[in-house]
């Protein structure tokens, strides 16, 4: 096995690593990016539902199954609605997520046909992740829009200006019947009947909110009436006054006349967010990591800083006031305790200097440009192509958030070793990052609540700082144990477990008592810069 791993090592560095994704081509949603989102939004004759995600965020993973099922159900509305996903955790999508001011994920936004973004209008945000509420908010939004393309509905109630002939003008090769629905005041009966009949191209539905208008059209007042294209009409008798009964009544009539519904075939019968696509290289890394016990891999620290500098930080629209301070503190900690190569150390020092010298309102775009400029002047900084200690047994598991924890623990330990920064500074920088820049909504909410409850700003020594983060992380582990986002190969245990550190806990029949001095010793050892593993990095000439 060891020989196999040695043979595969060069591959880790050269192989193309595909971006993990929660949605695929079979999911009834279109995955868009920096280049395609605005084009689609602008050119589509439909309304558009866009979900902005970070593939690594727990809520996005948990919501993926629900969203796929919802997208499947919403196929019935595809004459008026298109569904898209944009992953803000992909480096190429940084600009678009910044332009659309995506501060948390998942974010659901709605756009009318032909939408064009402005500073003030980045879309209509849905304030829920509950499928029925999304459905209701969508219906209300769709019904407010005037559609222009052939085959699209008209939600505007008829007026006295409409006559029978203008109604019959809606007939064409596919539309063979006009359905008239009486919609009482403050009811959505007509709207929901239109939506329910979108899969029946043979009918065009119009709403009457004034029953007197039936007379104006030469018809008797009615609840639900169907007209053929020659002007003949028939009153339909739905079983009750619900839109479902109205839709069924029309559908039965059409079926009897030989027409069929055009329910598009779903490409995804059931959500699948945990496909186990493990390639040979991943399998080799997995086997090594699982067999090695707790260890800190430089590749993970590199990946965390890489993603911070290229994705999480530049997504901010502007760094100002407390956000500017948070950026300065984070860069200060990173530059002082950098686990990167020589170029990486220079990069972090220059970025820190740049931000310190910038005005108190630095744009995310300016920061991004500075990162690119500095990197272009230095030998290659980021060489890790994969997570190593943070590798997952499936593409969307573990990864970035694992590498962040690893980096944070590493930083608290380096701070205690060096004594350069005052106690609490590193935790303050982590708190600033989470408050202002972390794109994972549930992580932010939980962490900030925990920071308050566990009195993050009261730590008095650097050793306490290490232990504060350890205890906080264990609290998160406990909450997430058994969660659907857990990697079965890396179950969420209280860390370190007895195998890794037998002296760290005393176990009695009823409870576990942590031996804090032993835990501290253990953490200082695992997260010590001297013990970093270069496994998985191109280190033939040393790590430079
Ligand atoms: C600040 C923060 C808050 C988060 N909050 C949430 C949340 O609210 N909801 C959610 O779904 N996800 C949250 N996450 C993500 C979640 O904690 C995990 O990162 C993710 O589920 C991946 O887990 P993992 O198995 O890779 O291990 P992780 O929990 O990411 O741990 C990474 C590595 O750290 C080591 N480790 C584990 N526990 C400790 C400890 N106590 N002390 C020191 N080292 C330890 C282990 O070697 C482990 O492999 C958060 C992440 C961060 C960085």
Summarised one tens digit per residue, pLDDT across range 207-227 is: 999 999 999 998 998 899 999
Q: Which residues of 321-350 are buried (b: 16+ CB within 10 A; e: fewer)?
A: eebbbbbbbbbbbbbbbbbbbebbbbbbbb
pLDDT of residue 500: 95
**Domain presence at residue 155:** no
> Which three-class secondary structure state does DSSP give residue 453?
helix
Between residues 127 and 544, which one has the greater pLDDT? Answer: 127
Is there a single domain that holds both residue 311 and residue 456?
Answer: yes
Reported confidence tier of residue 13, pLDDT bands at 50, 70, 90: very low
pLDDT of residue 353: 98
The enclosing domain of 212 has a CATH number of 3.40.30.10
Of the chain, the percentage scoring pLDDT greater than 90 comes to 80
Residues 232 and 84: their CA atoms lie apart, in Å, by 42
pLDDT of residue 516: 98
Q: In terms of DSSP bridges, do strands 512-514 and 203-208 run parallel, antiparallel, or are they unpaired? A: unpaired
pLDDT tens-digit map of 21-30: 889 877 889 9
Lowest-pLDDT range, 191-205, 332-346, 402-416, 499-513?
A: 499-513
User: How close is the Cα of 495 to the center of ligand 1, in Å?
Assistant: 11
The encoded tokens of residue 441 equal 């909504």
Measured by CA distance, the residue closest to atom 7 of ligand 1 is: 443
User: How close is the Cα of 479 to the center of ligand 1, in Å?
Assistant: 11
pLDDT of residue 283: 84
pLDDT of residue 264: 63
Ligand 1 pocket test, candidate residues 402, 407, 483, most atoms within 8 A of CB: 402
Measured by CA distance, the residue closest to atom 39 of ligand 1 is: 495
**Domain presence at residue 264:** no
* Position 5 pLDDT exceeds 80: no
Closest ligand 1 atom to residue 490 Cα is: 25
Per DSSP, helices labelled H in 144-222 are: 164-168, 189-196, 212-216
Is there a single domain that holds both residue 171 and residue 217?
Answer: yes
pLDDT of residue 231: 87
The encoded tokens of residue 462 equal 């650097």
Is there a single domain that holds both residue 9 and residue 120?
Answer: yes
**Domain presence at residue 369:** yes
Is there a single domain that holds both residue 369 and residue 483?
Answer: yes
Find out whether 337 and 417 touch, Cβ atoms under 8 Å.
no
Q: CA distances (Å), 57 to each of 128, 309, 454, 485, in order? A: 17, 18, 23, 9
pLDDT tens-digit map of 517-527: 999 999 999 99
**Domain presence at residue 178:** yes
Q: Which residues of 306-320 are buried (b: 16+ CB within 10 A; e: fewer)?
A: bbbbbbbbbbbbbbe
User: How close is the Cα of 84 to the center of ligand 1, in Å?
Assistant: 29
* Position 405 pLDDT exceeds 80: yes
* Position 12 pLDDT exceeds 70: no
**Cis omega (within 30 of 0) for bond into 496:** yes
Lowest-pLDDT range, 244-248, 291-295, 535-539?
A: 535-539
Q: Which residues line ligand 1 (CB under 6 A)?
A: 58, 294, 390, 398, 401-402, 404-406, 409, 434, 442-443, 446-447, 470, 473-474, 476-477, 480, 485, 487, 490, 495
* Position 292 pLDDT exceeds 80: yes
Is there a single domain that holds both residue 188 and residue 284?
Answer: no
Is there a single domain that holds both residue 171 and residue 121?
Answer: no
Q: Among 222, 256, 290, which residue terminates a domain?
A: 256
pLDDT tens-digit map of 448-479: 999 999 999 999 999 999 999 999 999 999 99
* For range 287-294, the mean pLDDT: 92
User: How close is the Cα of 515 to the center of ligand 1, in Å?
Assistant: 21
pLDDT tens-digit map of 150-172: 889 999 999 999 999 999 999 99
Is there a single domain that holds both residue 359 and residue 500?
Answer: yes
Reported confidence tier of residue 395, pLDDT bands at 50, 70, 90: confident
User: How close is the Cα of 491 to the center of ligand 1, in Å?
Assistant: 11
Is there a single domain that holds both residue 224 and residue 77?
Answer: no
| pLDDT, the chain, mean | 91
Closest ligand 1 atom to residue 402 Cα is: 30
User: How close is the Cα of 387 to the center of ligand 1, in Å?
Assistant: 14
Is there a single domain that holds both residue 309 and residue 452?
Answer: yes
User: Which residues fall within 8 angstroms of residue 95, CB to CB, at 6 or more apart?
Assistant: 34, 365, 368
* Position 382 pLDDT exceeds 50: yes
Is there a single domain that holds both residue 427 and residue 296?
Answer: yes
388: nearest Cα among 279, 537, 278, 529: 537
Residues 386 and 186: their CA atoms lie apart, in Å, by 56
User: How close is the Cα of 404 to the center of ligand 1, in Å?
Assistant: 8
Is there a single domain that holds both residue 130 and residue 194?
Answer: no
DSSP string, 380-410: ------S-STT--SSTTSSTHHHHHHHHHHH
The interface pTM score, or ipTM, of the predicted complex is 0.99
Residues 276 and 60: their CA atoms lie apart, in Å, by 18
Give the position of tokens 């678009």. 96
Measured by CA distance, the residue closest to atom 37 of ligand 1 is: 495
* Position 287 pLDDT exceeds 80: yes
* For range 358-372, the mean pLDDT: 94
* Position 398 pLDDT exceeds 60: yes
**Domain presence at residue 271:** no
195: nearest Cα among 259, 255, 157, 143: 143
User: How close is the Cα of 300 to the center of ligand 1, in Å?
Assistant: 13
Domain count, the chain: 3
Is there a single domain that holds both residue 302 and residue 251?
Answer: no
User: How close is the Cα of 301 to the center of ligand 1, in Å?
Assistant: 14
pLDDT of residue 297: 97
**Cis omega (within 30 of 0) for bond into 324:** no
Closest ligand 1 atom to residue 487 Cα is: 25
Q: Among 143, 172, 204, which residue terminates a domain?
A: 143
**Cα 160–Cα 162–Cα 166 angle in degrees, nearest 5:** 165
Measured by CA distance, the residue closest to atom 9 of ligand 1 is: 443
Measured by CA distance, the residue closest to atom 36 of ligand 1 is: 495
Measured by CA distance, the residue closest to atom 48 of ligand 1 is: 402
Q: Among 143, 175, 190, which residue terminates a domain?
A: 143
Ligand 1 pocket test, candidate residues 395, 405, 526, most atoms within 8 A of CB: 405
Lowest-pLDDT range, 11-15, 177-181, 438-442?
A: 11-15
**Domain presence at residue 265:** no
**Domain presence at residue 132:** yes
pLDDT tens-digit map of 98-117: 999 998 999 999 999 999 99
Reported confidence tier of residue 394, pLDDT bands at 50, 70, 90: confident
Domain range enclosing 486: 280-531
Measured by CA distance, the residue closest to atom 4 of ligand 1 is: 443
The enclosing domain of 293 has a CATH number of 1.20.120.310
Measured by CA distance, the residue closest to atom 47 of ligand 1 is: 294
User: How close is the Cα of 402 to the center of ligand 1, in Å?
Assistant: 5
User: How close is the Cα of 477 to the center of ligand 1, in Å?
Assistant: 6
**Domain presence at residue 267:** no
Measured by CA distance, the residue closest to atom 32 of ligand 1 is: 402
* Position 388 pLDDT exceeds 80: yes
């Amino acid at each position: 096995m060891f020989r196999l791993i040695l043979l595969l090592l060069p591959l880790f560095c050269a192989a193309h690593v595909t971006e993990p994704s929660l949605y695929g081509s079979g999911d009834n949603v279109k995955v868009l990016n920096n280049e395609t989102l605005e084009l689609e939004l602008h050119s589509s004759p439909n309304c558009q539902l866009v979900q902005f995600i970070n593939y690594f965020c727990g809520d996005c993973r948990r919501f993926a199954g629900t969203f796929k099922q919802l997208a499947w159900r919403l196929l019935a509305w595809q004459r008026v609605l298109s569904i898209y996903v944009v992953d803000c955790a992909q480096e190429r999508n940084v600009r678009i997520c910044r332009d659309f001011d995506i501060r948390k994920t998942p974010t659901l936004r709605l756009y009318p046909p032909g939408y064009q973004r402005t500073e003030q209008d980045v879309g209509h945000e849905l304030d829920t992740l509950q499928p029925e509420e999304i459905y209701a908010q969508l219906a209300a939004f769709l019904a407010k829009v005037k559609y222009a393309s052939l085959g699209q509905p008209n939600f505007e109630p008829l007026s006295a200006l409409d006559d029978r002939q203008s109604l019959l003008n809606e007939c064409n090769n596919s539309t063979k019947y006009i359905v008239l629905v009486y919609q009482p005041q403050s009811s959505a009966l007509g709207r929901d009947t239109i939506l329910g009949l979108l899969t029946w191209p043979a009918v065009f539905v119009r709403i009457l909110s004034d029953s007197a208008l039936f007379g104006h059209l030469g018809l008797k007042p009615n609840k639900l009436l169907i007209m053929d294209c020659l002007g003949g009409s028939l009153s339909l008798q739905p079983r009750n006054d619900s839109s479902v009964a109205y839709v069924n009544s029309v559908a039965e009539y059409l079926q009897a006349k030989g027409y069929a519904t055009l329910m598009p075939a779903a490409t995804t019968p059931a959500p699948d967010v945990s496909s186990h696509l493990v390639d040979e290289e991943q399998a080799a890394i997995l086997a090594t990591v699982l067999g090695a016990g707790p260890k800190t891999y430089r590749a993970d620290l590199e990946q965390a800083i890489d993603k911070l500098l290229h994705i999480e930080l530049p997504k901010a629209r502007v760094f100002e006031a407390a956000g500017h301070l948070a950026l300065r503190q984070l860069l200060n900690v990173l530059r002082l305790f950098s686990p990167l190569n020589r170029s990486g150390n220079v990069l972090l020092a220059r970025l820190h200097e740049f931000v310190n010298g910038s005005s108190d309102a630095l744009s995310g775009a300016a920061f991004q440009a500075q990162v690119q400029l500095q990197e272009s002047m230095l030998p290659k900084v980021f060489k890790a192509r994969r997570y190593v200690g943070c590798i997952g047994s499936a593409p969307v598991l573990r990864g970035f958030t694992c590498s962040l924890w690893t980096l944070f623990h590493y930083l608290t330990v380096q701070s205690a070793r060096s004594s350069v920064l005052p106690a609490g500074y590193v935790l303050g920088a982590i708190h600033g990052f989470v408050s202002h820049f972390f794109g994972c909504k549930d992580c932010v909410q939980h962490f900030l609540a925990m920071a308050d409850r566990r009195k993050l700003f009261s730590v008095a020594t650097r050793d306490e700082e290490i232990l504060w983060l350890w205890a906080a992380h264990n609290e998160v582990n406990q909450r997430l144990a058994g969660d659907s986002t857990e990697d079965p190969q890396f179950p969420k245990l209280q860390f370190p477990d007895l195998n890794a550190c037998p002296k760290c806990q005393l176990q009695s029949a009823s409870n576990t008592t942590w031996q804090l001095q032993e835990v501290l010793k253990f953490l200082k050892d695992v997260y010590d810069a001297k013990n970093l593993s270069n496994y998985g990095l191109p280190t033939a000439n040393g790590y430079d």
